[in-house]
């Protein structure tokens, strides 16, 4: 009877504890935090952002003032400072990201080691559990000599199972954390590469701005009256370009145009038609006939350029206009303000294309540049940056309209 009472008591205890034994455990997941900038770095970034915005505002204010040599130089000086600030800020961003990448790399290594260790332990536990078989609480009950022995063995099993659950969770958490850190690492690597490209662009822009300022001082001889004279000439030329484009139908951006001879370009080509010329607001499709003609001849002479490249070379142009300085393309061309058909025909006979400017009667005087490819005595084949390649000059213009010519000088 006493033995029967003990068995009944153990069965009751078994049912009370079985539910506790099988109750699922809930664990909180702790992930490795993403690296964040220090307070000092954030403050420095804020100061740089404020400086960059201040320079932008200053440049905008200067552009609103009247066009004088001193104001143009002030704009250029502030533009140079702006590029320098952008370069410094980008270098700092790269430095911060490199530090974050280093931290992420160390965390990935540590997490990989932890994951390997946990995986090995978990594998051993799985093998041990499989070999031993799953011990059921009822079997523990039947094999226990008394209640104390039963509770001791049951507690051990509960601890072992809880440990296995924790081990499974820890392994999964380590895996998730490892994947998260790898993702952070790859994202920051991509951002560093992007910033390096941006840094190259800012550095190139700074070089161009310094060169443009130097060219301005040279062509104006730092003289206000000379600056005003050149500005007036530039504005007249740009007005002539716009008049020509307007009289031919205005903005008609074309799909990528073919190049039968390998060096023809069209100023309205979608690949560069909307590109601004120099630091001006004027676009290639409208005022880029000379820039496109220069690109054609340079391409013919083996220089791998497009109208986009010529338009982006800001030091080719006067101040912040789209008017190309003489000699064209920073001295790569000889440009003559007259028409000399003997000289033009001699160049063509030697296989050298010649750029000519023409004055075309419109509502106002239109100005246009194109390339003579071959011919003589007014019977020329042309590459026209507006109309197309391999056209007959006399179908569109007359020799009396030519007022300027130029040729590649290396």
Using one digit for the tens of pLDDT, what is the confidence trace for 113-169?
Answer: 766 776 676 666 665 655 545 555 555 445 555 556 545 655 655 565 565 666 566
In angstroms, what CA-CA distances link 340 with 275, 294, 351, 360? 33, 19, 17, 19
Q: Give 325's pLDDT tier (boundaries 50, 70, 90).
A: very high
pTM of the model: 0.64
- pLDDT at position 45, please? 78
Average pLDDT score over the chain: 81
Q: Which two tokens stand for residue 36?
A: 């964040």
Mean pLDDT to the nearest integer, 29-58: 67
- Cα separation, 85 vs 209, in Å, equals 14
- pLDDT at position 125, please? 60
- Cα separation, 384 vs 277, in Å, equals 19
176 SS3 class:
helix
- Cα separation, 333 vs 331, in Å, equals 5
Question: Are the CB atoms for 341 and 377 separated by under 8 Å?
Answer: yes
- pLDDT at position 80, please? 92
- The percentage of the chain sitting over the pLDDT mark of 70, rounded to a whole number, equals 73
- Cα separation, 288 vs 310, in Å, equals 9
- pLDDT at position 148, please? 60
What's the farthest any 2 CA atoms get from each other in the chain?
136
Residue 388: φ, ψ to 5°: 145, 180
Element (H, E) at 120: helix 69-132
For residue 95, the Cα-to-chain-centroid distance in whole angstroms is 18
Dihedral of CA atoms 211, 214, 218, 222 in degrees, nearest 10, equals: 150
Q: Is the pLDDT of residue 6 over 60?
A: no
- pLDDT at position 152, please? 60
CB atoms within 10 A of CB 63: 12
Higher model confidence: residue 350 or residue 21? Answer: 350
- pLDDT at position 8, please? 38
Q: Which two tokens stand for residue 80?
A: 């140079």
Peptide bond into 327 cis (omega under 30): yes
Higher model confidence: residue 300 or residue 205? Answer: 300
CB atoms within 10 A of CB 385: 30
Domains and CATH numbers, the chain: 2-220 (1.10.287), 224-408 (3.90.70.10)
Higher model confidence: residue 374 or residue 123? Answer: 374
Mean pLDDT to the nearest integer, 271-291: 96
Name every residue whose Cβ is closer than 8 Å to that of residue 186 and which is 6 or more positions away in sequence.
none
- Cα separation, 321 vs 240, in Å, equals 14
- pLDDT at position 28, please? 38
Q: Give 212-263 pLDDT, tens digit per residue.
A: 888 889 889 889 999 999 999 999 999 999 999 999 887 789 999 999 999 9
What separation, in Å, do the N-terminal and C-terminal C-alpha atoms of the chain show?
A: 118
- With 0-12 CB in 10 A as exposed, 13-18 as middle and 19+ as buried, what is 131? exposed
User: Which of 87-96, 118-127, 267-276 comes out lowest in average pLDDT?
Assistant: 118-127
Question: Are the CB atoms for 108 and 182 separated by under 8 Å?
Answer: yes
Instruction: Return the axis-axis angle of helices 224-247 and 69-132, rounded to nearest 10°.
Output: 70
- Cα separation, 127 vs 90, in Å, equals 54
For residue 108, the Cα-to-chain-centroid distance in whole angstroms is 29
Nearest residue to 337 via CA among 219, 237, 226, 238: 237
Mean pLDDT to the nearest integer, 361-374: 86
Q: Which two tokens stand for residue 73?
A: 């130089």
Q: Is the pLDDT of residue 392 over 80?
A: yes
């Amino acid at each position: 009877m006493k033995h029967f009472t003990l068995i009944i008591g153990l069965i009751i205890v078994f049912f009370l504890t079985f539910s506790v034994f099988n109750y699922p455990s809930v664990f909180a997941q702790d992930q490795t935090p993403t690296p964040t900038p220090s307070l000092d770095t954030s403050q420095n970034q804020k100061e740089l952002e404020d400086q960059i915005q201040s320079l932008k505002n200053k440049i905008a204010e200067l552009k609103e003032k009247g066009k004088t040599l001193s104001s143009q130089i002030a704009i250029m000086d502030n533009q140079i400072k702006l590029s320098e600030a952008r370069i410094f800020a980008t270098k700092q961003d790269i430095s911060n990201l490199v530090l974050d990448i280093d931290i992420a790399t160390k965390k990935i290594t540590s997490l990989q080691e932890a994951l390997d260790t946990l995986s090995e332990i978990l594998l051993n536990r799985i093998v041990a559990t499989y070999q031993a078989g799953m011990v059921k609480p009822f079997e523990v009950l039947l094999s226990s000599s008394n209640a104390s022995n039963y509770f001791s063995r049951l507690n051990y099993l509960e601890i072992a199972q809880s440990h296995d659950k924790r081990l499974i969770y820890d392994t999964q958490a380590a895996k998730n954390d490892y994947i998260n850190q790898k993702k952070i690492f790859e994202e920051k690597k991509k951002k560093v590469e992007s910033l390096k490209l941006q840094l190259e662009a800012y550095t190139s822009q700074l070089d161009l701005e310094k060169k443009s300022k130097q060219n301005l001082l040279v062509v104006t001889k730092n003289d206000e009256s000379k600056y005003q004279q050149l500005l007036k000439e530039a504005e007249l030329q740009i007005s002539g370009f716009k008049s020509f484009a307007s009289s031919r139908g205005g903005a008609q951006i074309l799909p990528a145009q073919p190049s039968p001879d390998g060096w023809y370009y069209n100023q309205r080509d979608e690949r560069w038609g909307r590109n601004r010329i120099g630091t001006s607001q004027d676009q290639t499709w409208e005022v880029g006939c000379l820039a496109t003609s220069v690109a054609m001849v340079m391409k013919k002479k083996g220089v791998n350029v497009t109208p986009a490249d010529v338009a982006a070379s800001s030091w080719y142009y006067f101040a912040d206009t789209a008017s190309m300085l003489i000699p064209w393309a920073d001295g790569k061309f000889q440009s003559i303000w007259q028409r000399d058909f003997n000289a033009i025909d001699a160049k063509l006979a030697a296989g050298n294309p010649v750029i000519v400017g023409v004055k075309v009667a419109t509502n106002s005087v239109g100005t246009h540049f194109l390339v003579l490819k071959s011919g003589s005595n007014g019977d020329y084949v042309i590459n026209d940056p507006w109309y197309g390649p391999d056209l007959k000059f006399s179908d569109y213009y007359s020799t009396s309209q030519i007022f300027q010519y130029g040729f590649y000088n290396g």
